[in-house]
Amino acid sequence: MSLIRSNIFDPFSRDLWDPFQGFPFNNSRSLATTDETSSFANARIDWKETPEAHVFKADLPGVKKEEVKVEVEEGNVLKISGERSREKEEKNDKWHHVERSSGKFLRRFRLPENAKVDQVKAAMENGVLTVTVPKEEVKKPAAKAIEISG
């Protein structure tokens, strides 16, 4: 059994068991082993749908808005990415406990067809990123009266 520690300096980081390690193919399914992500990879994001929009809220404490990218790729995939920098270590510092994570994060969400991807708005306030994707109005087909013969 092999445990993959997403951050070797953080004893409370996500420990993932990789059942495919040691197989002849190189296909690790762990997000923690990719170059693009780290222990901060699973940034907590809520997605709710209101009558007017799809609203995404991400908890990103300690991350500046300049360190976050919000993009729409492949036409309808919302991509939220960024990086929380590691705190600078002074030579004389002695760490007793480390729980806060640092590193890159990346999340993707496939948006439904009714999303207006050209009108996406994002705002950051108090460590919470809010991304609003307006929805197109669903046009109900007009009812057409049919004359009954006979």
Tell me how far apart the alpha carbons of residues 119 and 56 are, in angstroms, rounded to a whole number. Answer: 14
Task: Give the SS3 label for residue 53.
Answer: strand
User: Has residue 8 got a pLDDT over 60?
Assistant: no
What distance in Å separates the CA atoms of residue 85 and residue 83, rounded to the nearest whole number? 6
Give the whole-number percent of the chain exceeding pLDDT 90. Answer: 41
**pTM, full prediction:** 0.63
> Which domains can be identified in the chain, with CATH numbers?
35-85+102-137 (2.60.40.790)
